[in-house]
Structure 1
Amino acid sequence: MVTLDRKTSGGSYPDLEKTDIKHQELYEGSVREDAEDPIEAKKVIRKIDIRLLPLLVFLYTLTFLDRVNIGNARLWGMEDDLGMTGYHYNIVVMVFYIPYVLLEIPSNMIINRIKPRYWISGLTMGWGLSVTFAGFSTSFGGLLTARIFIGIFEAGMFPGCLFLISSWYRRHEVLTRMALFMVSNDIAGSVSGLLGAGLGSMDGIKGYSGWSWIFFVEGGVTCAAAILAFFCVLPFPEESKFLSLDEKEWLLRRLKADDYRNKEREKITLKGVFRALADWRIICTGVMYLAVCVTAYSITIFQPTILSGFGWDSLKSNLLTAPVRIVSGIVSVAMAFWSDKVKRRGIFCLSGYTISIMGSLIVMLHPNNNVRYMGLYFAAIGIYIVQPLCIAWGSNQVVGYTKRGTLTAFAISSGQIGGIISALVFPKQDGPRYYPGISTCIAFAFVGIIAGSCMWGFGAYENRMRDAGKREHLRNLPPENLEGKGEKHPDFRYTV
């Protein structure tokens, strides 16, 4: 049994790379349960969880809050104060995503080369200041400029955090952690409505409108959080210092045995990125996440507007966004835990898209406003089940820092295109039913089902081929070449 105590193992760990372990025992890429001390393993993983996740959850809560607070600001006179008409609001929402899409892959190339705490804290300070200055806007152009800078600085946060999380855990531990991280969206969605109601009521204080106070306060909190991030964000596992030497060596060996990653963390290069982008699994993950984000951003940014179309006032519309996000967050984490436990992704992914489609149809077609509000719950629950799942599923299917870093950045870049789409298909004149916008959400959910079915079908087929010995010829390769095969290794199993 592998333990964390050198004394009990004769001064060194058993060499897992040289142990005669049949590929059936490594089914789906996991280390055998009896190959490690479960009590010691839980202690180390718990230590990592405590040091890594709470801070990242907090930071991404602020990221999402600062991104979507414009939906709440809209209800407190922002458009009238800045002379915004027609599609101006939609343009302000959309322009954020342009630098966001373009800069995510370069950002993961940078975080791979420098200490994550430097990069993440710098990004946090940058967008915090941009949000704060947005409150001083006196024209449509000023707000537009602030939103561009928010997009520039926020671009690296989401993919960088997911890249960092995926580096610390085995393949069937990572979804639960990603879901806990992404529950930040639901926390932000819940808090955004409450803050929008509270801060907006400061309208007139010191001569500033309520929408300005939303930006001032939320941006100021983010700047303070940047200082905390500088001191507390963890590095990659190979550079960690909070683990003992024994724990660190055990962790790295465990991660390598799980997915055949190289012992040393490779640098992400432009050539490696282009090679990774030719992998259909990475493209498929991007399509799934694009399908998620069309609905997710529509719910987040336009939910207050949709609710106000029910005939409810601004305060009620803001407050009633919170319960939807709370419920969807709880269900998302529960489904992620279940998915990790049973080591399955496909059935959860396709079910989430289907539930979201049902909810969207209710919102669009049902005559009763209370029932339509219930439909928002189903639309949100379904899509937020899929959001962390499709990123984790894609990460489960590839090996190595370059592919995982490229996958998280490319998928999230694709998702932000969904944000651009959602910004364009919900003009105010389409209310209160918003047939074009909601129909677009439904169409993309069907695209997600198709992409998920392809990922599921290919993984199941390839696993059957490997179980039948159809990939055993690869074992004839020299050991150094076989080790570098990654997901093509005959012992590797896809997650389905």
Structure 2
Amino acid sequence: MTHNTEHDTFDDGAIEKQDVEHAESRLFEEDPLEARRVLRKIDFRLIPLLLFLYTLTFLDRVNIGNAAVWNLESDLHMKGYDYNIVVLVFYIPYILLELPSNFVINRVQPRYWVGFLALGWGLSVLCAGFAKNMGGLLTARVFIGIFEAGMFPGCLFLIGSWYRREELISRMAWFMVSNDVAGVLSGLLGAGLGSLNGKGGYSGWSWIFFVEGGMTCCAAVLALLFLPSFPEDSTFLTPEEKAWYLRRLQRDDNNRTGKQQKMSFRGVLRSLKDWKVLTSGVLYLSVCVTAYSLSVFQPAVLTTFGWSSLKSNLLTAPVRAVSGIISVLVALWSDKVKRRGMFCIAGFLISIMGLLLVMLLHNGNLRYMGFYFASFGIYICQPLVIGWCVNQVIGYTKRGTVTAFAVSCGQVGGIISAVVFPSKNAPQYVPGISTCIGFQALGLLTVANMWWWCRWENKQRDAGKRDHLRQLSAEDQEKLGELHPDFRYML
């Protein structure tokens, strides 16, 4: 039996499928508590595990800053710029392999890929503790960079695939608070493990690498067992929940078809021509020069105040704790009001003020206060700039390209920070801090440019200046992505 109208013909199967879809839609759309339950189910499965894994990633990356104050340089006979080179060499494979890694995670189960990466860099950190000379430490740092390269962009890619645009920044902030958790733990573990100096015939810096590398190897098992896949291939939601959630995401992203889309080389090259993708790289570079400088060199700067190695390590912890709390609160506020640009500008300005206090003042306590402003200002910006750029594009290919390209550019900031803070510039470190301020000024200009352009383009669409694109076929309109006249950029 069929039902005919003037334009369409439906069979019983199509009518039944449509009725089921309407019923599922009504079930969740008319019950916000039930919809919130599904969203929380996803949050608890995805965010805490990624936060834990990336905490270990960041901890293993910056723990060399804590190791440096526990006889690392003297034991390995390092002089001059040797320490800076060891810090720098990590970023070379990290930068080169981030975009290729997003190709891999897009094609295999994320839990297999992330578990493999975690095991690889955990073993590399552990082996660094056995280094007998600078060459051994350099080799370990290269392998840490190789394995860690896929972790950060892959996690951002996965998070960006699971949430709607107005929900994204707060989740990214919760994920990136792992930087601050790692900063707190790094100071505490650096002080505690470093105090094992001499135990078993190993220096304090070796114990830092042994214990933290071993923790990461254990965490690899958790990733292998529990990390979820992309929404289209997920299994922890019921069929009804999954069907509803995919339709919910599709309304936010016209490129979703119900099947996981694969990144292509041609699509990536096309995405790299988009100014919004390029802007993501400039913004994250502007953030990371300061973020890495604070993470790696803050303990060394604090020792120039006349404070002991133990005190310098311990006092990095409260700075990061405050930064983490403030960054999450600002991210929640940003998602609530659906605004990004004004918070980015505020974060850059606060951080610049803090850096000026550290550079220009001579009183140790006041300079330490400057670290608070510098840290929470820049860590406000970190989730915002990546999340904002992900908000401005549609589709797996562009989102995967944005996250990988932005993070790759950010690691150039790590290289810059590694060479602009030589110990000879102590105690004020004017060249290094001035470099951080200069890049944040670049960030301010870039934020203002994107904010103005997106506001202007939204006005054009509100005025109907892009409605001629509606004359394209449905298939061609789907390919428009964020160029579709119904799409509005986040401001």
Length-normalised TM-score, structure 1: 0.94
1:13 Cα deviation from its structure 2 partner: 2.5
Distance 2:242 2:159 in 1: 16
Q: What is residue 163 of structure 2 aligned with on the other side?
A: 169
Distance, in Å, in 2 between the alignment partners of 1:436 and 1:35 is 56
| 2:233 aligned partner, one-letter code | E
Residue identity matched to 2:236:
F
Question: How far is the alpha carbon of 1:207 from its aligned partner?
Answer: 0.6
1:357-376 equivalent positions in 2, closer than 5 A: 357-376=352-371
Once residues 449 and 23 of structure 2 are traced to their aligned partners in structure 1, the CA distance between those partners, rounded to angstroms, is 39
| Partner Cα distance (1:215, 1:36) in 2 | 53
Is the 2:24–2:240 contact (alpha carbons within 8 Å) kept by the matching residues of 1? Answer: no
Q: Once superposed, what is the RMSD of the aligned Cα atoms?
A: 1.6
CA distance in 1, matches of 2:171, 2:255: 20
Whole-angstrom CA distance in 2 between matches of 1:479 and 1:35: 26
Could you tell me how far 1:246 is from its partner in structure 2? 1.1
The aligned residue for residue 24 of structure 1 is none
2:384 corresponding residue in structure 1: 389
Q: Report the equivalent of 2:49.
A: 55
1:51 CA drift (Å): 0.4
Which piece of structure 1 moves more, 263-272 or 132-141? 263-272
Structure 2: distance between partners of 1:326 and 1:473: 51
Partner letter of residue 459 of structure 1?
C
Secondary structure (helix, strand or coil) at the match of 2:20 reads coil
- Residue 341 of structure 1 pairs with residue 350 of structure 2: no
Distance 2:351 2:21 in 1: 51
Task: Kindly state the Cα deviation for residue 368 of structure 1 after the two structures are TM-superposed.
Answer: 1.6
Counterparts of 1:11 and 1:437, CA distance in 2:
61
Corresponding position of 1:142: 136
Deviation, structure 1 residue 198:
0.3
Amino acid at match of 1:292: V
Aligned counterparts, 1:235-314, within 5 A:
235-263=229-257, 264-314=259-309
Correspondence for 2:348: 353
Following superposition, the deviation at residue 262 of structure 1 comes to 2.3
Matched, 1:11 2:20: yes
For residues 48-107 of structure 1, the C-alpha deviation after alignment (integer angstroms, 9 at most, x for no partner) is 000001111000000000000000001010100000000000000000000000000000
From 96, 107, 113, give the equivalent of 1:113.
Answer: 107
The alpha-carbon deviation at position 38 of structure 1 amounts to 1.6
**3-state SS, counterpart of residue 428 of structure 2:** coil
Q: Give the superposition deviation at 1:10.
A: 3.9
The C-alpha deviation readout for 1:402-444, integer Å capped at 9, x for no partner, is 0000000000000000000000000000000000000000000
8 Å contact from structure 2 (residues 46, 228) kept in 1:
yes
Partner residue of 1:193?
Answer: 187
The equivalent position to 2:418 in structure 1, one of 403, 418, 423, is: 423
- Which residue in the other structure is 1:459 paired with? 454
Counterparts of 1:11 and 1:60 in 2: how far apart (Å)? 40
Contact 2:84 2:422 in 1 (8 A): yes
Partners of 2:23 and 2:97 in 1: CA distance: 43
Q: 1: CA distance between counterparts of 2:325 and 2:71?
A: 33
How far residue 250 of structure 1 moved from its aligned partner, in angstroms, is 0.8
- In structure 2, how many angstroms separate the alpha carbons of the residues matched to 1:449 and 1:472? 33
Q: Is the 8 A contact 1:259 1:492 kept in 2?
A: no
Aligned to 2:484: 489
- The answer to whether the 8 A contact 2:355-2:370 is kept is yes
**1:15 positional shift:** 11
Secondary structure class of the residue paired with 2:284: helix
**Distance in structure 1 (CA, Å) of the matches to 2:265 and 2:306:** 52
Q: Which residue of 2 is the match for residue 407 of structure 1? A: 402
Instruction: Tell me the equivalent position of 1:26.
Output: none
Q: Deviations over 1:453-492 (max 9, x none)?
A: 1110111001000111111111111111112211011110
Unaligned runs of 5+ in 1: 1-5, 17-33
The 8 Å contact of residues 183 and 317 in structure 2, kept in 1 or not, is answered as yes
Q: Secondary structure at the match of 2:21?
A: coil
SS of corresponding position for 1:241: coil
**Structure 2 CA distance, aligned partners of 1:251 and 1:139?**
54
Which residue type is aligned with residue 228 of structure 1?
A: L
**CA offsets 1:193-214 (integer angstroms, 9 cap, x no match):** 0000000011111111110000
- CA distance in structure 2 between the partners assigned to 1:14 and 1:96 by the alignment: 53
Aligned pair count? 474
> Counterparts of 1:69 and 1:402 in 2: how far apart (Å)?
34
Tell me if 1:204 matches 2:198. Answer: yes
Amino acid at match of 1:191: L
CA distance in 1, matches of 2:373, 2:177: 16
**Residue deviations 1:29-50, cap 9 Å, x none?**
xxxxx95532121011000000
Name the TM-score, length of structure 2 as normaliser: 0.95
Paired residue for 1:19?
none
8 Å contact from structure 1 (residues 356, 378) kept in 2: yes
Query: Helix, strand or coil: the match of 1:84?
Result: coil
Moved over 4 A (4+): none
Which of residues 103, 119, 125 in structure 2 aligns to 1:131? 125
Paired residue secondary structure (1:173): helix
Give the distance between the partners of 1:110 and 1:119, measured in 2 at CA: 8
Query: Is the Cα contact below 8 Å between 1:61 and 1:187 reproduced in 2?
Result: yes
Partner Cα separation in structure 2 for residue 37 and residue 290 of structure 1: 42
Quote the Cα distance in structure 1 between the aligned partners of 2:52 and 2:29: 35
Matches of 1:269 and 1:193 in 2, distance apart? 42
Whether 1:377 aligns to 2:372 is: yes
Query: Cα offset for 1:279?
Result: 0.5
Which secondary structure does the structure 2 equivalent of 1:312 belong to? coil
Counterpart residue number, 1:468: 463
Cα distance in 1 for partners of 2:30, 2:348 equals 37
| Superposition deviation, residue 256 in structure 1 | 1.0
Quote the residue 2:11 is aligned against.
Answer: none
Give, in whole Å, the separation in 2 of the partners of 1:230 and 1:13.
Answer: 36
Residue pair 2:338, 2:490 contacting (<8 A) in 1 also? yes
SS at match of 1:371: helix
Q: Are 1:122 and 2:131 matched, yes or no?
A: no
SS in 2 for 1:75: coil
* Residue type at the aligned position of 1:325: R
> Match of 2:442, as an amino acid?
V
* Structure 2: gaps (5+ residues): 1-14
Letter of the 2:457 counterpart: E
